[in-house]
């Protein structure tokens, strides 16, 4: 109640509990728009995930309306909700112009650890069916979503930068960089504009296998460290990203309308080779069971590499991309579980690979 002495009392509502109520309602109402996703099968584009509109409750306006109408005869409040339509819905399927295979790339993960296989297959499934509009920007991290244990990923292995160089360590979602690399290779050979790409701290030979791989053609991602893979659809047609993982191979296909341009790629130019030290390195890891041993690195030379790609429309050069990467030498590293009663003082000896400067001194999960 409010009112000075001698004045009529009036009733006012306490805004704090009203706002708390409205914020709880907003948590139930609000949602981000979700684009439809599609698969190409049987000669047609098929919906594999329906679209969903976005909703956003205006909290301030709702609080105002409740206070305004609390003492009115009609005490009904229509919630002020802003609707955001998805960029593409299932109804757009026949208007997208997605009709043919543009490019494809595959890499093998046969023989990988069960967590890595799981992470690769999960990540591929969550990228399957993404469509990119004309002029649109594709972000690997945005489309993939959180790479956390709560989101279904397991602990694999990743590359972490250190003051001396790098280490291969347990990492949530370890292995997803193979997914990023495979998609990157498909996009690279398609000729689309690469907006962001980061390389691994050391070279992983499996990524250089023909026909689409070559030395220096990889991509690493780590949302928590701001490392993403992005490309732009610079054409006037929609494209679809189709992902497949069968337990041994991960494959990406780019579907749409062929742009009609020509892609030329020079052979990699390798310089500044630093020979790897083949001496075995045994490193104690508290993440392993006593007596367990896991080989996490193989000795590979470090080097710098440059790859040049040109895209022609007829005889006109419309895009030139120069990829430069710097890889550290890696070592023959085996992690071993701690011995019963062992301590840091009596842990296995270590030998580090030669320290080299790195342009990206951050952990790089998912080798």
Using one digit for the tens of pLDDT, what is the confidence trace for 269-294?
999 999 999 999 998 888 888 988 98
Looking at 66, 93, 120, the residue that finishes a domain is 93
Q: How confident is the model at residue 355 (pLDDT cuts 50, 70, 90)?
A: very low
Phi/psi-derived region of residue 135, left when phi > 0, alpha when psi is between -120 and 50, beta in every other case = left
Segment 23-43 mean pLDDT: 94
Asked if 104 and 203 sit in the same domain, the reply is yes
Residue with the larger pLDDT of the pair 96 and 342 = 96
pLDDT in tens, 202-246: 999 999 999 999 999 999 999 988 999 999 999 999 999 999 999
The verdict on 104 and 49 lying in the same domain is: no
- Which residues on neighbouring strands pair with residue 269, listed in sequence order? 306
Q: Is the same domain home to 176 and 224? A: yes
User: Residue 42 — very low, low, confident or very high, per pLDDT cuts 50/70/90?
Assistant: confident
Task: Give Cα 359 distance to the centre of its chain.
Answer: 20
Q: Which of 42-46, 58-62, 195-199, 345-349 has the lowest mean pLDDT?
A: 345-349
Cα–Cα distance list, 325 to 126, 186, 250, 304 (Å): 28, 19, 24, 6
Mean pLDDT, range 199-204, rounded to an integer: 95
pLDDT digits (tens, 9 = 90+) for 89-139: 999 988 999 999 999 999 999 999 999 999 999 999 999 999 999 999 999
| Spatial distance between the Cα atoms of 41 and 230, rounded to a whole number of angstroms | 26
Neighbouring residues of 143: CB distance < 8 A, sequence distance ≥ 6: 126, 127, 130
* 284 in any annotated domain: yes
Phi, psi for 190 (deg, rounded to 5): -70, -25
Enclosing domain of residue 112:
96-346
In this structure, is residue 365 part of a structural domain? no
Q: Is residue 366 part of a domain?
A: no
- Answer yes or no: is 333 within a domain: yes
Q: Are residues 194 and 52 in the same domain?
A: no
* Judgement on whether residues 20 and 138 belong to the same structural domain of the protein: no
Is residue 335 domain-shared with residue 231, that is, in the same domain?
Answer: yes
Which of the listed residues 63, 93, 123 is the one where a domain comes to its end? 93
**Tokens at 91, concatenated:** 């109804």
User: Any long-range contacts for 65-74 (C-beta under 8 Å, 24+ apart)?
Assistant: 66/13, 66/18, 66/22, 67/13, 67/15, 67/18, 70/13, 71/11
Residue 279: inside a domain, yes or no?
Answer: yes
DSSP H or E run through 216: none
**Whole-angstrom Cα distance, residue 58 to residue 80?**
6
82 lies in the same domain as 199? no
DSSP state, 276?
A: P
| Coil, helix or strand at residue 192 | coil
- Do 44 and 113 belong to one domain? no
Question: Is residue 3 in a domain?
Answer: no
Q: Residues 74, 46: one domain?
A: yes
| Domain-terminating residue out of 93, 111, 140 | 93
Structure tokens at 232: 């732009």
179 with 276, same domain: the answer is yes
What is the domain count for the chain? Answer: 2
Map tokens 């790859």 to a residue.
307
Domain annotation covers residue 67: yes
- The secondary element (H helix, E strand) that includes residue 175 is none
Same domain, residue pair 88 and 198: no
Six-digit token pair at 173?
């979602």
| Average pLDDT in the chain | 89
CB 283 within 8 A of CB 233: no
Specify if 125 maps to a domain.
yes
Q: What angle do CA 261, 267, 272 make, to 5 degrees?
A: 140
Q: Quick one: three-class SS letters along 44-82?
A: EEEEEECCECEEEECHHHHHHHHHHHCCCCCCCCCCCEE
In three-state secondary structure terms, 261 is coil
Residues 20 and 159 in one domain: no
What does the pLDDT average to over 75-81?
Answer: 93
């Amino acid at each position: 109640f409010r009112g000075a002495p001698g004045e009529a009392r009036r009733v006012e509502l306490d805004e704090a509990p009203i706002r708390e109520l409205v914020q709880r309602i907003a948590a139930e109402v609000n949602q981000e728009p979700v684009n439809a996703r599609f698969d190409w099968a049987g000669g047609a584009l098929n919906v594999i995930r329906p679209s969903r509109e976005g909703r956003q409750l205006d909290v301030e306006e709702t609080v105002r309306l409740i206070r305004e109408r609390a003492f009115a005869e009609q005490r009904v409040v229509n919630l002020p909700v802003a609707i955001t339509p998805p960029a593409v819905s299932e109804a757009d399927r026949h208007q997208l112009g997605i009709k043919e295979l543009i490019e494809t790339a595959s890499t093998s993960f046969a023989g990988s650890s069960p967590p890595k296989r799981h992470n690769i297959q999960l990540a591929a499934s969550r990228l399957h069916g993404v469509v990119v509009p004309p002029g649109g920007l594709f972000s690997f991290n945005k489309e993939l979503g959180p790479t956390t244990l709560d989101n279904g990923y397991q602990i694999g292995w990743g590359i972490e930068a250190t003051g001396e160089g790098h280490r291969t360590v347990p990492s949530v979602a370890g292995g997803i960089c193979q997914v990023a690399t495979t998609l990157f290779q498909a996009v690279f050979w398609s000729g689309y504009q690469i907006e962001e790409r980061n390389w691994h701290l050391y070279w992983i030979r499996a990524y250089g296998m023909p026909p689409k791989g070559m030395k220096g053609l990889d991509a690493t991602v780590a949302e928590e460290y701001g490392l993403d893979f992005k490309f732009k659809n610079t054409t006037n047609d929609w494209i679809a990203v189709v992902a497949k993982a069968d337990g041994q191979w991960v494959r990406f296909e780019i579907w749409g309308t062929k742009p009609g341009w020509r892609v030329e790629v020079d052979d990699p130019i390798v310089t500044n080779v630093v020979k790897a030290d083949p001496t075995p390195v045994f490193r104690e890891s508290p993440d392993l069971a006593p007596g367990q041993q896991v080989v996490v690195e193989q000795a590979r030379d470090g080097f710098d590499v440059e790859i040049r790609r040109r895209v022609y429309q007829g005889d006109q050069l419309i895009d030139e991309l120069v990829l430069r990467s710097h890889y550290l030498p890696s070592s023959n590293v085996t992690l071993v579980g701690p011995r019963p009663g062992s301590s840091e003082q009596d842990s296995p000896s270590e030998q580090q690979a030669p320290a080299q400067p790195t342009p990206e001194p951050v952990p790089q999960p998912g080798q």
